[in-house]
Structure 1
Amino acid sequence: MTDVVIVGGGPVGLLLASELKLAGADPLVLESATGEQRRTRDLGLRGINARSMHTLGLRGLTGPLVEAQWAMFRGMAAHRTPQDEHDVIGFMMSLLDKGESGGHFAGLPLFGEVTRTPERVMIKQHLLERVLADRAESLGVRIRSACQVTDVADEGPYAVVTLAGGETLRASYVVGCDGGRSTVRKRAGFPFEGTPATMTGRTAVAELATPVASAMRGPGGLLNLSLVPGEIATIEFDGGPDERHAPVTAEELQGSIRRVSGNDAVVTRVEAGIRYSDNTRHADTYRRGRVLLAGDAAHVHSPIGGQGLNLGLQDAANLGWKLGLVARGLAQEELLDTYTAERHPVAATVLRNTRAQVALMRPGPQVDALREVLGETLRLPETQRHFLDMVNGTDIDYAPGSAHPLVGRFLPDLEIKDAGYARDLQADGRGLLLDLADSAEVRRTAAGHGDRVRVVTGAARDGAVEDLAALLVRPDGYVAWTGAEGLADALTTWFGPAV
C-alpha cells in the first residue's frame, strides 16, 4: 500500500510529491495526460510570485527556475524583430533582472521590490513542470503518466483509487491535484459552491493577415499579444463560454478580436487554442477523511493576475510536510486540520481580489473612471505596498493576533553567525530551530526531534529578532514559535512527540 497517491502531475502535484518524499513518505503521482498532451495545452506564461519563489528557494530551486526562464526568453527573442525585442521582451527581462516586476492588478502595473530578488519568474508551464519533475525524480518519486483516475473512495483504514481499465490502488491518503474539474473532488463529495462565469477568455497560437495591437481597454473587452511569439488572447464579458472542449477556430478567434478591439482583423489559421472563464468556486473544506484537495481542485477563479498557480504551490508547501509526518505515524491527524484552517482563508482572499479584477476589466466609462481613481491611489507608497503584498502572497499570516509578530509569518531573511542565511538551511525539508542565545536547554528540549528539526546555534544579524532567544521554523518557512518558554509543546504540536 502506498502512503499517498497524488492525482494530477502538474506543478502542484509534483511539488507536493517532493515535499512528501522529503518528509519521509512514499508518494505516487498519477497523471492522466502524456507529456506531449500537456505541452499542447501550454499556452501563455506563468508568473511565479515572490512568496512562491521564496518557498521554492528553500529547496534550492531558484537557480534552475531562473536559468529556465532566461533560456526561454532568449529563445523568444530570436523569433522577434529587434524593435519588438527592445519594446516588449527586453523591457520585461530588465524588470525581472532588477526585481522590479511586482505583477499587476487588473492590468494596472505594480512596480517595486517586494522583499528580495529574484522576486518573480515568468515561464512556460511545461518548463516549470520539467524543473519540478526533475526534482521529484531525483528524490525517487514515482510518476505514472497516462493514468486516468475514475473513482476515489475512503474505506476507513485506507483509501482506494480506481483507474480506467479497472486497476485499483490502496493508499493511506489521496490528494486531488487534478484541476478545476477534479474527479477526486467530485467522487469524494466535496461541496464546491461559488459564482458562475461572466466572461469568456480565449488564448490561441494564430496567424493573422495583418498585425494588430494590444488593447487593454477595447470597446468590447481585452486584446493582448503575448510575449510568446504567435500567441494572442481576448477577453469578452459575455456570460462565459458555451463550449469549453471544442477546438478554437480561426472564425471564432477572428470574431472575438473584432468585437473586443473594433479592428477588422483576419485570422488565417489557428494552431492551438483554449477557452477559460471567471467561474469562481471554493471547496468548503480541503479534507474529508483520507481524501484531500490542493490547487485548482480546491479553488477556481479568473486567471487575471496569475495568482492561481501560486495559490496551488503554497497549498502543496503547506500540506506536504504535515501529511508526510502523519502518513509516517510521527504526528497525529489533528495536524492535517491546520491545512484547511490556514489555507482556506488565503484562497478566499484571492477569490475576492480576482472577482474585483474582473470587475475592473469590464469596458465602459464608469469602470474607466474607477480605474483612474485606483491608478491614482496606487501611486501612494502605502497602497502600492498593500497591493504588492496581496498579489505576491507576502501578506500571508497563519497566526494573526499572536503574541509575537513573527509567529505565523514567513521567516525574514536572517543571517545567522557562522551558519549563513536561514533560507539556505532547509533544503532537506526539515524544520529549523534557531538557537539564537546559545542555550543548552533549547538543544536538550529538541534532542528527541532531530530527525524532523535541525538545530542551528548562532546570533542573528537582524534587529527584528534581537529580543528572541529562539525561533522554531516550519519546513514551509513559516515561524511556528518564538521565545524561551513552551518549546516542548510547540515541537509536539507541529512535529509530533519526541522519539
Structure 2
Amino acid sequence: MTHDVIIAGAGPVGLMLASELALAGIRPLVLERLTEPSSEAKANGLVGQVVPMMDRRGLYERLGGPPGRPQPNSAYFMFAALPLDLSLLERSPVYNMAVPQPELAAVLRDRALELGAEIRWGAEITGISQDEDAVTVDVSTAGETVRLRARYLVGADGGHSVVRKRSGIDFPGVSYDRATTRTAHATISPDLVDPATGALRVPGYGEIRPFLPIRTERGGLAYAPFPGRTPLFSTTEWDRPAQEGPMTLAEMQASIAYVLGAEIELGPATGPGPHALRRQLGGNTRVAAQFRDRRVVLAGDAAHVLVFGGGPGLNLGLQDAMNLGWKLAAEIKGQAPQGLLDTYDTERRIAADRAVAQSQTQAALLAPGADITAMRAVFAELLTDAATVQRIADLISGSDVRYDMGVPDPHPLVGAPAPDLDLDTAAGRSRVAELSRAAQPLLLDLTVTGSFAEALRPYADRIEIVHGRTEDPPAAALLLRPDTYVAWATDAPNLDTADLGGLRSALARWFDAVPVTAA
C-alpha cells in the first residue's frame, strides 16, 4: 500500500496540515514519535493574521474565541518590550488569542480525526529514501520496524527534524549562547494583582502589565495570567552561567529577583496542568536551504526556527500548513498546474524571512548594554509616530507579506488575504470567513449583474462561486485561493469592461482551469 501523504509530527503544524489535506479529500497518515500528546507549552497564544485564518477554518470559537469574527487589538501591545500604541492606527492588523499550545494541539487533533486523518503514536522515523514515484519511510513502533511508502512525506517534526536531517537538507543560520530562559507556572499572592487591570504591583519595582514583556539591564520578564489557570512567568538572563540539574521554583524566583532587582514570592502551581518548569540555554535562528526536496517537504519549525521561537514560530508554521495543504492535495489528485507545489517554498520563504527579520530585531533591542538602552530610547520616540507603528504592527502580524500572483500591475488586494466581508447572497447573509471553511477556490462576484459569476459557471466543479452584495465593496470581483489569498481582483463593474487577461492567468496558474470568455 502506498499512502498519499505521511506527515511526521503530531504537533499543531502537522495536525493543521492533516486537516487541510483532509478538507481537500486526501486522508493523511500522521506519525508521532511520542507515545502520547505533549504537555509542553512552547507557545501560549496566537498573534497576527493566523487568528483570522483560524476563523476561516471554523476553529476560532473552538479555540475559545467569542462568537462572531475576531476583533483586532486596537489598544496596547509591545515590540521588544517597548510600548506599541495600536490606538494610533485606523485599523490594527494585530490579533491576539491566548491559548496554550497543548490546548491548541488538542483542538487541532480532534479536528483532524473528525475529518478522517489517521494518527499513529509511538511511531519514530528511522530511515528515509525516495525515488521518482514515492518516499520510503522506515518506522520503529513498539520495538519493531515497518516500512511504509507514500507519494509525499512532510516533515513537521520540529527544529530537530529527523525528516530534514535524513533528507540531507541544510539548515543554515545563527546560534546564540548569551541568554538563559526560564519558564514556570507559579502562584502569587492575590494582593499583588491590581483587580482593575490585572497588572502585577511589585514592591521595589512597579507595575508589570499582563502579557506584555519588560526589559531591564539584566534581562527580561513576561507575566501571563491565563484565565482559569496558574499564572505563567518567563525570564531571560544575559551573560550569566545557568545552574545545573533540574529546574526548581526557587531558581525561578531567584531569576525574577535578579532581573527585576525586586522579589516576587512564588508558590507551587495549582489547578489543571500541564505545569511548566523548564530552563533553556541559548537559541537559534535558522531557515532550511530548501523547503522541498522532490517528494519531501518541510513545514513549521522543521523549515525555520526563530530566536523567539514560541508564538511567532507557531504562527508561521500554522500558515505554512494552510499554504501547503491545498497545493499538495491538487498535486496528488492530478489537478495542479505546472509548478504549483514549487510556489510553497517561494511564498513561505518570503513569510519566513520577514519573521526572521522581526525576531532578530527584537532580540537585538532586548540585549543588555548602555548602547542598546540608547537605541531603545530613540526607537521609543519613533513608535509615537502612527506610520512607524503601522509598519511595525504589519511586521509582527505578518500582514505585510504579499505573494507574487503573477499578475502585472495587480489590484491592491492581490497577494494578500481576502478581507472578511459581510455578504448578502441568495442563500442568506454570510461572511467570507464562513464561505472559506471548506478550503475550496472561491469566486466572489460583488456586482449588481453577477456577470463574473455567470461566466465562471463552467468551473463550478473546481471553484465555488458566490454572487453577493456588500456595503462599500473593495472590488467588483475577487478570485480566492483555498488559503483565502486573493489571486485576482477587479474594479470593473461587469465582465464586458474587465481586463480578462489577469483572470485567465489566475485560473490557469492556480487551478489549471480553462480560459474564460466574455458573456
Q: TM-score when scaled to structure 2?
A: 0.80
Q: Could you tell me whether the CA contact under 8 Å between 1:219 and 1:261 is conserved in 2?
A: no
Q: Could you tell me whether the CA contact under 8 Å between 2:81 and 2:215 is conserved in 1?
A: no
Q: Could you tell me whether the CA contact under 8 Å between 1:200 and 1:275 is conserved in 2?
A: yes
Work out the CA distance in 1 between the residues paired with 2:9 and 2:412. Answer: 36
Q: Could you tell me whether the CA contact under 8 Å between 1:148 and 1:163 is conserved in 2?
A: yes
* Structure 2 residue 183 is matched with structure 1 residue 203: yes
Task: From the two aligned structures, give the one with the greater helix fraction.
Answer: 1
Q: Give 1:21-420 correspondences, 5 Å limit.
A: 21-35=22-36, 38-39=38-39, 41-42=40-41, 46-67=44-65, 99-100=73-74, 103-112=77-86, 115=91, 119-164=95-140, 165-198=144-177, 199-205=179-185, 216-227=214-225, 229=230, 231-238=232-239, 247-249=246-248, 253=252, 256-257=255-256, 259-262=258-261, 272-275=277-280, 277-303=282-308, 306-332=311-337, 334-399=339-404, 402-418=409-425, 420=430
How many angstroms does 1:27 deviate by?
Answer: 1.0
Work out the CA distance in 2 between the residues paired with 1:29 and 1:49. Answer: 26
Work out the CA distance in 2 between the residues paired with 1:178 and 1:240. Answer: 30
How many angstroms does 1:98 deviate by?
Answer: 7.8
The residue type paired with residue 200 of structure 1 is: T
Work out the CA distance in 2 between the residues paired with 1:445 and 1:239. Answer: 67
1:377-408 Cα shifts (integer Å, max 9, x gaps)? 11211111111111111222112874211110
Indicate how the Cα distance of structure 1 residues 353 and 118 shifts in structure 2: closer, same or farther if over 3 A, else same. Answer: closer
* Structure 2 residue 443 is matched with structure 1 residue 449: no
Indicate how the Cα distance of structure 1 residues 250 and 413 shifts in structure 2: closer, same or farther if over 3 A, else same. Answer: closer
Q: Could you tell me whether the CA contact under 8 Å between 2:8 and 2:163 is conserved in 1?
A: yes
Work out the CA distance in 2 between the residues paired with 1:304 and 1:131. Answer: 21
Indicate how the Cα distance of structure 1 residues 357 and 250 shifts in structure 2: closer, same or farther if over 3 A, else same. Answer: same
The residue type paired with residue 126 of structure 1 is: P
User: What is aligned with 1:480?
Assistant: 487
The residue type paired with residue 232 of structure 1 is: F
Q: How many residues align?
A: 465
Q: Could you tell me whether the CA contact under 8 Å between 2:256 and 2:262 is conserved in 1?
A: yes
User: What is aligned with 2:197?
Assistant: none
Indicate how the Cα distance of structure 1 residues 381 and 396 shifts in structure 2: closer, same or farther if over 3 A, else same. Answer: same
How many angstroms does 1:422 deviate by?
Answer: 2.2
Q: Could you tell me whether the CA contact under 8 Å between 1:42 and 1:124 is conserved in 2?
A: yes
SS in 1 for 2:283: coil
SS in 1 for 2:136: strand
Unaligned runs of 5+ in 2: 193-201, 270-274, 491-497
Of 192-201 and 258-267, the range deviating more from structure 2: 258-267
Q: TM-score when scaled to structure 1?
A: 0.83
How many angstroms does 1:130 deviate by?
Answer: 1.6
Work out the CA distance in 2 between the residues paired with 1:116 and 1:417. Answer: 26
The residue type paired with residue 203 of structure 1 is: T
User: What is aligned with 2:436?
Assistant: 426
Work out the CA distance in 2 between the residues paired with 1:385 and 1:361. Answer: 21
The residue type paired with residue 48 of structure 1 is: L
Indicate how the Cα distance of structure 1 residues 219 and 409 shifts in structure 2: closer, same or farther if over 3 A, else same. Answer: closer
Work out the CA distance in 2 between the residues paired with 1:274 and 1:101. Answer: 32
How many angstroms does 1:491 deviate by?
Answer: 1.6
1:313-347 Cα shifts (integer Å, max 9, x gaps)? 11111111111111111114510111111110211
User: What is aligned with 1:84?
Assistant: none
SS in 2 for 1:2: strand
SS in 2 for 1:173: strand
Q: Could you tell me whether the CA contact under 8 Å between 1:415 and 1:462 is conserved in 2?
A: no
1:390-447 Cα shifts (integer Å, max 9, x gaps)? 1111222112874211110111232334253322211111011112346676446534
User: What is aligned with 1:491?
Assistant: 507
SS in 2 for 1:184: helix
The residue type paired with residue 166 of structure 2 is: R
Work out the CA distance in 2 between the residues paired with 1:338 and 1:110. Answer: 34
Work out the CA distance in 2 between the residues paired with 1:98 and 1:404. Answer: 24
Q: Could you tell me whether the CA contact under 8 Å between 1:278 and 1:302 is conserved in 2?
A: yes
Indicate how the Cα distance of structure 1 residues 51 and 190 shifts in structure 2: closer, same or farther if over 3 A, else same. Answer: same
How many angstroms does 1:260 deviate by?
Answer: 3.3
Q: CA RMSD in A?
A: 3.3
How many angstroms does 1:257 deviate by?
Answer: 4.3
Unaligned runs of 5+ in 1: 70-95
SS in 2 for 1:330: coil
Identity %: 38
